[in-house]
Amino acid sequence: NMKHLLDDKTDSLGHMPVGIGRLTSLRTLVEFHVSGGGGVGGSNACRLESLKNLELLHVCGIRRLGNVTDVGEAKRLELDKMKYLSCLRLWFDKEEEDGGRRKEEDDQQLLEALQPPLNLKELLIGLYRGNTVFPGWMMPLTNLRSLTLEKCEKCKQIPPLGKLSSLEKLMIWGLKSVKRVANEFLGIESDNDTSSSSSVIAFPKLKSLTFYWMEEFEEWDYGITGMGSTSIMPCLSYLAIISCPKLKALPDHFHQMTTLKELYILGCAIPGVRFRNGKQEDLISQRANVYSREYDLPQQIKARMRMYSE
């Protein structure tokens, strides 16, 4: 009758016991560890696909997906049929002692196979090795409220997340290969999209946006010559840009934003708050609290910074 298995901070755990698949009343499984060989390395190791028996899961985290050698096993898991699943965290790390090299295509195929149900509300994708984090099932997640992309170091372009109509919180951490955030991020492909008579709203419900530890991130420009009927992040109240040493300016739409209440800028090349049109922080500082010291950072970000420095 166990309902919650709060097994976080178990990095040294080699595998999950076979009996996990029989805990059919389980609602929370914080971390399922895939053993070397995709979970088939021994009679005592629970296979990844055994999780399909946990039909009542609300929260599920899966670690060491880098150990999966058979994409078919992920498909047999049938995550999309777990109708109660609202929070999914996927980490593509791999056992250090396993010296086998992993291809980018392996993670891309595996991520596609781990399709969640459409009612998913929270998603984390971490330590992913593909050059794009854009599975075909992401855009149909119309109920998604929170998305974290963490340490996907080979990813060069952020997907068109502005199309996620219910997204309220977006955290992008450690995407070290991303150099530019452009109109594709908004889900707007060209000026033609903004010149039509119908209005375009990118990130219609986004309230919180964080960029952290983006070493190559140097340009944030949507390349839209005229905003027209385009609205960008009309509900944003929290913006944090931390450890992005090459970023020198913010997009102009932040200068016009009246909803922003908290702005954290730390470890960036931005002097004060500079916008692409050359305007400084005068107007935005009248509307939002602007912080530039580590002391002022929220506890959640401080905790994550400590984790990254370990």
Q: Does 124 have pLDDT greater than 70?
A: yes
Quick: pLDDT tens for 125-169: 999 999 889 999 999 999 999 999 999 999 999 999 999 999 999
Report the pLDDT averaged over residues 295-304: 79
Quick: pLDDT tens for 157-200: 999 999 999 999 999 999 999 999 999 999 986 555 555 556 88
Task: State which amino acid sits at residue 217.
Answer: F
Say how far residue 307 (Cα) sits from the centre of its chain: 17
Per-residue burial over 126-150, b if 16 or more Cβ lie within 10 Å, else e, is: bbbbbbbbbbebbbebeebbbbbbb
Let me know: does 53 contact 77? Beta carbons within 8 Å: no
